[in-house]
Chain A
Amino acid sequence: MSGVQDRQYQRQKFVDKLTPYLFISPWILGFFFFTLGPLVFSFVMSFYDWPVVGEREFIGTQNYEVMLTQDPLFWDSLWVTIKFGLFFVPFNIILGLLLAVLLNQRVIGSGIFRTIFYLPSVISGVALVTIWAWIYSHEYGILNFLLGLAGIDGPNWLGDPNWALLAIVIASLWGLGGTMLILLTGLQSIPKELYEAAKMSGVPAWARLIFITIPMLSPMILFTFITSIIAAFQQLTIALLLTGGGPLESTYFFAMYIYDNAFKHFEMGYAAANSWVMFLIILALSMMVMKSSSAWVYYEGEMKKGGNKDA
């Protein structure tokens, strides 16, 4: 091989090696600038007293100590978020599952129903808020009118600390179309033979639901479980605009607490510490759900390991 050819060969080899990295470079760069960088930055910030303007000062773990021991708002907002999650997560999955099961039967117009249930997931959170604010209106709201028809004296939804959180849960559940769609796709991939065999052996419909549908669907349920927990913790737009955290801070979500510390009180270091606590809680909850999943999630054959390794 002559020198020129050899150099060309070397060069070609280098280019071939580099090509894949060039293709994925947009994500790599984005990862450093918009994900890893900010993550590290926020972790560092959480050990500082860091106002937007003025001197920042290293204060060690003081932010975390203050948060855990001296800031009742931290615990209150965490508790509001957990309460919301305790209502929202199960209802989101159960109602999503109910709709998916109903639509998975041979129904006329199932496409139209599916579209209707998905529509609210398509619109902006701001639009959702303005829509529900008017529905919940104490004096002119259509909800209390309809409840009145049924003989129920509706509460002052957004003005009563006992009801405001539930009002946010209901408005959020309006957007369960995404969950429904994921579960519906899961249902459609369950082999029909399983049901036919069960039917032939005289297994009743409710037993087929509990012993075939739910286990076969459990990986999807696991996925929606984790995503709804994350959604619950990130709940901000609705609380910010529909109730502003009130009345009496009954809807003061953890995400709103972080937002206020950062952009209202301009305590960036403290807010960064808050957000890391949120991150760790979400991580811990997801881990717990994942860990417990081996007990209740059924993976057919190798599906479990097949997951992301099919490259």
Chain B
Amino acid sequence: MSRKKDFSSPDMPLTPAVFYILLSLATKERHGYGIMKQVDLDSKGKVRLGPGTLYGAIKRLVDEKLVAEKESLSDERRRYYKLTDKGMRIFKTELTRFDEAVSLAKKRKLLESISLSTVVFI
């Protein structure tokens, strides 16, 4: 089965790379290098994107209209990327899924026995 997410069905989980890219764009628009640094920071170094992986993911997100491209006024060599309404909707669906999973884990007292840092995205 393909691991790639079909964004037309928002029930499928996002890959870690796509999740962190959307997370980095949820608060402000960024250029490619900015996204890379923010993903590294947000994931505490666990998700490191090379330029190949980053722009491969960006192309797919732009093609699927989850992310929009914007020319930079200050630096014409760079392009900025921002989340679209569809991108934000899918990102929020994913956050809700995490929230529900964490609530369920808390209710079953599972979070007391495991460290949060070892939680792996499913």
A binds B: no
Residues in B lying within 8 Å of A, measured CB to CB: none
Partner-B contacts on A (CB < 8 A):
none
